[in-house]
Structure 1
Amino acid sequence: MIQITAILIDDERKALAILKNKIERLCPNISIIGETKSPTEGLNLIKQLKPQLVFLDIAMPEMSGFDLLKEIKNPDFEIIFATAFDNYAIEAIDHCAIGYLVKPIDNQDLVKTVNKAIQNINDKTALEKNKLLIENLGVLKLQNQKIVIPSQEGLEFVKISDIVCCEGTNGYTTIHLPYKKTILSSNSIGHFYKLLENQNFYLVHKSHLINLDYIEKYLNEGSVILTNNIKIPVSRNRRMDFLQSLKKT
């Protein structure tokens, strides 16, 4: 069995002990090589021990998990953040396809997130995703942040404001960008709806998520014309609500 080295950083002694116990019981692939309640000590442990995976609490008084990450020049390790449900934090992490666990940590969620992290370690994508998270945290306007889109060629880092619409087909999603460029993602339309629903996007149809900034015309037949002359149907049961949302923009 391949062992993944890990460090645990959480300023709460009880939370740290519970996390360690759960990992030792449920995640036999994980070898804990360091643990600390101090973010500063955690920073030193990361630099000295060079773990493959770091379990990192976000809300710590001395230094937040995000601030700790910013202190590392090349954060090439996989991260699983822990949070007591901070919407902004979860949104920022989600955009970068980085793992997170909501406290109190559920056993199934832990196993699922750890397995995904192990897969990511094998794919060697941590450095790019961590750098993107740091970049996004410095961007105040959410529409100017970027999201990670897994494609056939690897990972695409796309600015949210550049997404014209998302079209779901058979569990895949085609992302339409300006200048008629498209990206095919193995993620479902539901995945992108979850990421973008609070950022000026509207699910006009079960298979179509559109950026309201790119609407050029609404047709009475029940469809919209977007930039690039993309015609999208609007579900009959969503038309009234959709038209109301247009009036607010």
Structure 2
Amino acid sequence: MIRAVIIDDEKNNIENIEQLLIKHELPVTIVGRAINADDGVSVIASTAPDLLFLDIQMPDKNGFEVLKALPHHQFEVVFVTAFDNYGIQAIKFSAIDYLLKPIDPEELRQSIAKVKAKLNQRKANLQLENLMDFIKDKDAKKEHKLALASTKEIRFVHTGDITRCESSNAYTKFFLTDGKDILVSKPIFEYEELLTGYDFIRCHQSHLVNIKFVKSLIKEDSGYLLMDDNTRIPISRNKKEHVIKALHTIKK
């Protein structure tokens, strides 16, 4: 049985999670509850849970500040939020699960299944550590790592070590500076949103490139980007002006 703590500033949200866990017979027992960040830190310290259901937006201190106050993070986290934009970029960067309120029972079931698998493996929770690094130094974007989950492992890759991304239906292939590539089971549009502020630009429906690895823009053959490794990346007609402007802006 997974031992869990719920931290949420609204008691009805805590009760709702508990009821869903019971109703759908999920292997979770609640060992602690808190309605604010400070009490949450104390409950975590006293119960040493396997799992933390953590509301992001709370009065006085938010969910991220709960994590900052803890010296160790020997538990899994499922964030719970009523907003689909509050802190989600940081969470996605570290491939950590989150649930939107009102909680969908099937999404809850899937989250618990993932937590159970991780606990069974007893691997160090590098995803959570990566999240904390992101939050502590959110303005130094060049130093952040992106969690890339393949079928075999989760790789943490500096954004500056990614040369480009290529779409393959619902999958995205990441090409790295060391010549290797990683196939991730998420569509490219999700990474476009995450990487836009890191000198990446969507030049084509199937391509997202790191501009610092662009050698030149070739105008012949309808136009394409020539990468440092001589790979040719097509440019969509409706994105050409945007690409030219981005190249001039970022390459200065």
- Is TM more than 0.5 here? yes
Give the corresponding residue for 1:226.
227
> Which moves more between the two structures, 198-207 or 219-228?
198-207
Q: In 2, are the aligned partners of 1:58 and 1:81 still within 8 Å (CA)?
A: yes
> Which moves more between the two structures, 229-238 or 48-57?
229-238
Q: In 2, are the aligned partners of 1:165 and 1:176 still within 8 Å (CA)?
A: yes
Aligned mates of 2:124, 2:16 — CA distance in 1: 26
Change (3 A) 1:202 1:124: farther
Q: Deviations over 1:114-173 (max 9, x none)?
A: 333333333434621111111111121334321111246632211113211112347554
Q: In 2, are the aligned partners of 1:164 and 1:211 still within 8 Å (CA)?
A: yes
Aligned mates of 1:72, 1:199 — CA distance in 2: 29
Aligned mates of 2:245, 2:25 — CA distance in 1: 49
Q: In 1, are the aligned partners of 2:142 and 2:159 still within 8 Å (CA)?
A: yes
- Of 73, 76, 79 in structure 2, the residue corresponding to residue 78 of structure 1 is 76
Q: How many angstroms does 1:90 deviate by?
A: 0.4
Q: Deviations over 1:13-66 (max 9, x none)?
A: 222222222222235222212212132222222222221111011122243211
Q: How many angstroms does 1:225 deviate by?
A: 1.4
Give the corresponding residue for 1:204.
203
- Of 176, 181, 205 in structure 1, the residue corresponding to residue 179 of structure 2 is 181
Residues 56-75 of structure 1 aligned to structure 2 (within 5 Å) = 56-75=54-73
Q: How many residues align?
A: 246
- Of 114, 117, 120 in structure 2, the residue corresponding to residue 116 of structure 1 is 114
Aligned mates of 2:86, 2:247 — CA distance in 1: 25
Residues 83-102 of structure 1 aligned to structure 2 (within 5 Å) = 83-85=81-83, 87=85, 89-102=87-100
Q: How many angstroms does 1:8 deviate by?
A: 0.5
Change (3 A) 1:65 1:223: same
Give the corresponding residue for 2:11.
13
Q: In 2, are the aligned partners of 1:174 and 1:182 still within 8 Å (CA)?
A: no
Gaps of 5+ in 2: none
Q: In 2, are the aligned partners of 1:78 and 1:126 still within 8 Å (CA)?
A: no
Gaps of 5+ in 1: none
Give the residue type in structure 1 aligned to 2:205: K
TM-score normalized with structure 1 length: 0.85
Give the residue type in structure 2 aligned to 1:65: G
Q: In 2, are the aligned partners of 1:189 and 1:207 still within 8 Å (CA)?
A: no
Q: How many angstroms does 1:240 deviate by?
A: 4.1
What SS does structure 1 have at the residue aligned with 2:66?
Answer: helix
Aligned mates of 1:201, 1:46 — CA distance in 2: 39
Give the residue type in structure 1 aligned to 2:50: Q
| Cα-Cα RMSD | 2.5
> Which moves more between the two structures, 25-34 or 180-189?
180-189
Aligned mates of 2:121, 2:40 — CA distance in 1: 25
Q: In 1, are the aligned partners of 2:149 and 2:155 still within 8 Å (CA)?
A: yes
TM-score normalized with structure 2 length: 0.84
